[in-house]
Structure 1
Amino acid sequence: MSIIKLLLLTFSIAILATSCSVNSHVMFKEGEAEIITDNIPLSPDDAYKLAPDDKFTFTLFVENGKRIIDVGSGIGSEANGSQRLGGTTTFQYLVRKDGQAELPMLGLVDMAGLTVIQAQEKLAKLFSVNYIDPFIQIQVTNRRVIVFPGSGGDAKVIALQNDNTTLMEAIALAGGITERGKASVIKVMRQSEEGRKVYQIDLSTLEGLKYADMIVQSNDYIYIEPTKQLTREFLQEVSPIVSLISSAILVISVFTMFN
């Protein structure tokens, strides 16, 4: 086999190997997983429940929160002894792997599986042993969604400050859909008891506007599929190989010429 043929064979093998890496960064390619495109829930069926690794803060006011009303209406800050537990300092508490959280005065309390309202009612009952008519406010501080807006380098973790954050708001907080992103292929991957469900939404037309108000939930993955750029990425991968082989052919040609 001549040198030129050997080089061409090597080049062909390199091209085949390179083609396997083109668009290799594209995530969540469709396989056998079920993609749900109809009857997509616009709002959660159940309220969010605390889970292991969640972090939360809570504030306790006595006398059913009387001081909140008194301060808001300009009455003295020491209205009949109404106090807030912990002063103005805010502490975060962790729901441990066993579902318990260690709280001041109470010790370990089972918190996993409770909605925010249920947790507030539970703590109010427990603190009522030491406080008069306790009023509890709880806020989960690490609720978040992960948004991939169309190119991997722009992925963002969005904190959910609002319980009613919509899909459109989450995308906007991530900076919107990138130039490579497909508005027609937006996948919302949501954890359920059966595993993650994948909802595919098309926001490229006005018909998909109804899904723009879909309420996102903590730990959702929002993945906007990027447009595949086969030609550009293929040329980027092949250019170094072509350059190397061209140089080798040139050297061999010159060597052959003088021999």
Structure 2
Amino acid sequence: MKKILVLLLIFTLLFSSCMSNKKILYLQGSQNSTNNSNNYEPIIQNDDRLSIRVNTLEIEASFPFNLEGSQNNSGNYRNPINSVNSSNNNSNNSNIGYLVDQKGTIDFPVIGTINVAGFTIDQVKILLKEKLSVYLKDPIVNIQLLNFKVTILGDVASPGIKIFNSNRVTLLDAIGASYDLTIFGKRTNILLIRDFQGVKTFNRIDITKADFVNSPFYYLDQNDVIYIESRKAKVDATALPNLSIIVSVVSFISTLLFLIIKK
């Protein structure tokens, strides 16, 4: 009887401890970690839509270089609820700003065609300032990416397309916009699919480790796809839907036998 009791107790402990904190907690070891990726800037790609505003001390002089309605004054992030249809939420921005065509260029007022794909936003600012200096005195150029979007799939509370009005979006931002991973989402082996100028890469990320903030995948690029794999515990639970009931029964029987033997 004692052997049976020991086996039952071991069985119960194995199931009750299957969800280790080490597999769930984010950024473990963060006290000794430093983020060295503050200089990150996204690279402009084809199909990006840019808001470009030109200002000078002589306000009227800058009018010919600004598209009407090209400035976006909305918040940093659109509501992710019903995010599967979030592309519809961006319809107000679909005809504003400058669309980077398949040649990587935009048509800028007065100046003409400018190649911007493959450059950072700061590099395009410098380029525009040089070209505008011919027409304006001390021009100020502000550039914002209007249609930054990523797709997050798998074991998250709200999968779908997430659209941001920000030039710097992190993996944690995307996870937050998806209302976090479920308890079964595998945090140690997240797949990030990145497509840059037609070249796709497949990258694995462990967000339970604090040093992941220094990886090249902490900041997201336009059109990144994030896939959250399910942990084995969920697969097992799907294959054996009454597992929780079984564990509860075994635990009850173990406790009952322990009380009987103790008497």
Taking structure 2 as the reference length, what is the TM-score of the superposition?
0.55
Establish whether residue 56 from structure 1 lines up as the match of residue 50 from structure 2. yes
Name the CA distance, whole Å, in 2 between partners of 1:209 and 1:95: 36
Alignment of 1:95-134 (within 5 A): 95-134=100-139
Query: 1:179 offset after TM fit, Å?
Result: 4.0
The corresponding residue for 1:21 is none
Query: 1:187 offset after TM fit, Å?
Result: 1.5
Could you say if the C-alpha distance between residues 89 and 163 of structure 1 is closer, same or farther in structure 2, counting changes exceeding 3 Å? Answer: closer
The corresponding residue for 1:224 is 228
Query: 1:164 offset after TM fit, Å?
Result: 3.8
The corresponding residue for 1:210 is 211
- Report how many aligned residue pairs link the two structures: 174
The corresponding residue for 1:89 is 69
Root-mean-square deviation over aligned CA pairs = 3.3
Could you say if the C-alpha distance between residues 168 and 230 of structure 1 is closer, same or farther in structure 2, counting changes exceeding 3 Å? Answer: same
Name the CA distance, whole Å, in 1 between partners of 2:140 and 2:132: 9
The corresponding residue for 1:247 is none
Runs (5+) with no aligned partner, structure 2: 1-34, 71-95, 242-263
Alignment of 1:110-259 (within 5 A): 110-150=115-155, 154-192=158-196, 195-203=199-207, 205=208, 208-211=209-212, 214-227=218-231, 229=235, 232=238
Deviations 1:79-103 (A, max 9, x none): xx33453487324111111122112
Contact 1:187 1:201 (8 Å CA) reproduced = yes
Query: 1:43 offset after TM fit, Å?
Result: 4.0
Contact 2:145 2:165 (8 Å CA) reproduced = no
Name the CA distance, whole Å, in 2 between partners of 1:164 and 1:140: 10
Query: 1:138 offset after TM fit, Å?
Result: 1.0
Identity between Structure 1 and Structure 2 (%): 24
Name the CA distance, whole Å, in 2 between partners of 1:157 and 1:87: 28
Could you say if the C-alpha distance between residues 110 and 165 of structure 1 is closer, same or farther in structure 2, counting changes exceeding 3 Å? Answer: closer
Contact 1:149 1:171 (8 Å CA) reproduced = no
Paired residue type of 2:171:
L
Which structure is larger by alpha-carbon Rg, 1 or 2?
1
Runs (5+) with no aligned partner, structure 1: 1-40, 64-80, 236-259
Name the CA distance, whole Å, in 2 between partners of 1:107 and 1:194: 26
Contact 1:167 1:212 (8 Å CA) reproduced = no
Taking structure 1 as the reference length, what is the TM-score of the superposition?
0.56
SS at match of 1:117: helix
